[in-house]
Amino acid sequence: MIGPSEEQLTRLHERLLAAREIAQALLGRRDARVEASGQTIGRLTRMDALQLQGMSQLSRGQLAIRMQQIEAALRAWEAGRYGACNRCRQPIDTERLEALPEAPLCLPCQEAIEAR
């Protein structure tokens, strides 16, 4: 597995901050929608907006769980542990973090847990 570079980590951190903003807005407004235009929305790019647009379809409970995961990832960032698997401590593959920036586990550990 190859972990993210410093540049990728910075970009992922920005995405986590943007995701937190969206989740907070959606938790505050049940009917909120993410604008998926070609413009930048704060720290959010069009690609991020499309990825996070699905948040508006989540139930309030699911959204609260997602918010907890985002907050945990931001705490890991502050502690210098972001990008390392919470279970095996190995680097989480960059592709996985690009797809799910708040992922706390590498794919093998996630699959092992789900197989139980």
Residues of the chain falling short of pLDDT 70 = 1, 29-58
Specify the pLDDT at position 2: 74
Spatial neighbors of 14 by CB under 8 A, at least 6 apart, are: 43
Q: Domain 6-30+58-115 belongs to what topology?
A: Four Helix Bundle (Hemerythrin (Met), subunit A) (1.20.120)
Convert the chain into a string of H (helix), E (strand) and C (coil): CCCCCHHHHHHHHHHHHHHHHHHHHHHHCCCCCCCCCCCCECCECHHHHHHHHHHHHCCHHHHHHHHHHHHHHHHHHHCCCCCECCCCCCECCHHHHHHCCCCCCCHHHHHHHHHC
Specify the pLDDT at position 36: 43
**Which residue has tokens 């890991």?**
76
Specify the pLDDT at position 79: 96
In this prediction the pTM is: 0.73
